[in-house]
Amino acid sequence: MRNSELAISIKALTKFYENFQALNKISFEVKRGDFFAFLGPNGAGKTTTINVLTGLSNYQNGQVKVFGYDVTSEYLHSRRLIGLCAQESNFDPFLTIYQLLVYQAEYFGIIPWEAKRRANELLDRFGLAEKRNCKHRALSGGMKKRLLLCRALIHDPEILILDEPTSGCDLELKFLIWDYLLQLNKEGKTIFLTTHYMEEAEKLCKTIGIINNGTIVRIGDKKQILQDKSLQDVFLEITGIE
Ligand SMILES: Nc1ncnc2c1ncn2[C@@H]1O[C@H](COP(=O)(O)OP(=O)(O)OP(=O)(O)O)[C@@H](O)[C@H]1O
Ligand SMILES: [Mg+2]
């Protein structure tokens, strides 16, 4: 890896959807090994930022790097280092969930026997082994969330980017995901997640970044941010509690 210290480096990133400006010169960094929560109300620009990081969206200005690799000009390098758990499921409807995982692993250059081993291991780990021959539409909402996680992890990425990984999950699954993410972080993986649950950010992360209307409001240590009285109104907006 080219830059082992900075997992994410975003400088003056500006993104328009036609005439609408979704990101306005945002800049921030995420250190290797950090557990970073990216918070903001609906429409703040979180998913847009993730789409840029993972090469799914273009952008008009700025510089975006993952472990030192430019997400545009060095896309193949940067994308290989990211495990993406998207906000919504987007699976091939014709494949079984086992095939989905194996193909995803092979897409990242993992040899077939190892791809199959990893797929089985992850399906087992997330309680989906019995469903391995089902298509994803035959899964419940919580199971689809688990499958998204399996797919994000299949190529053993350096950074996991998770867009609201526990929304719609029951308590048991939420705790399973939390435990797993904490364990991965302990093992040295960098984690970047978005959430509307302050409890989730408080329990899991080390650093918090807040975005609102496409502008970075604050980045800092979790404790300092959560204790900052001037941010209470933004927190209410993020959680949706009146
Ligand atoms: N494909 C698109 N075309 C046009 N506008 C878009 C598109 N995707 C997002 N936007 C707009 O960009 C803004 C930021 O959206 P984004 O999805 O990044 O928000 P978010 O912070 O992820 O919100 P949420 O918490 O609801 O998931 C919103 O105003 C949204 O309507
Ligand atoms: Mg979003």
**Domains contained in the chain, CATH given:** 1-81+157-242 (3.40.50.300), 92-156 (no CATH)
Assess contact for 48 and 65: CB atoms under 8 A.
no
| Ligand 1 atom closest to Cα of residue 40 | 21
- Evaluate if residue 242 carries a pLDDT over 90: no
Q: What is the pLDDT of residue 221?
A: 95
Ligand 2 (single-atom ion) residues, CB below 5 Å: 46-47, 87
Contact 93, 106 (CB under 8 A): no
Positions of E strands within the chain: 6-17, 20-31, 35-39, 61-66, 69-70, 82-85, 159-163, 190-194, 207-212, 215-221
> Looking at per-residue confidence, does 104 or 168 come out higher?
104
Handedness of CA 177, 183, 78, 22 (dihedral sign): positive
Q: 48 C-alpha vs ligand 1 centroid, how far in Å?
A: 6
Tokens representing residue 103 in the block: 């193909």
Mean pLDDT across the chain: 94
Instruction: Dump pLDDT digits (tens) for 53-104.
Output: 999 999 999 999 999 999 999 999 999 999 999 988 889 999 999 999 999 9
| Residue to probe by mutation, ligand 1, list 13, 14, 19, 48, most atoms within 8 Å of CB | 48
The more confidently predicted of residues 147 and 2 is 147
**Ligand 1 atom index nearest CA of 164:** 27
Q: Are 159 and 67 in contact (CB under 8 A)?
A: yes
Is residue 142 predicted with pLDDT exceeding 60? yes
Instruction: Report how far residue 188's alpha carbon sits from residue 32's, in angstroms, rounded to the nearest whole number.
Output: 8
Q: Which atom of ligand 1 sits closest to the CA of residue 17?
A: 4
DSSP classification of residue 158: S
Q: What is the pLDDT of residue 241?
A: 62
pLDDT band for position 240 (cuts 50, 70, 90): confident
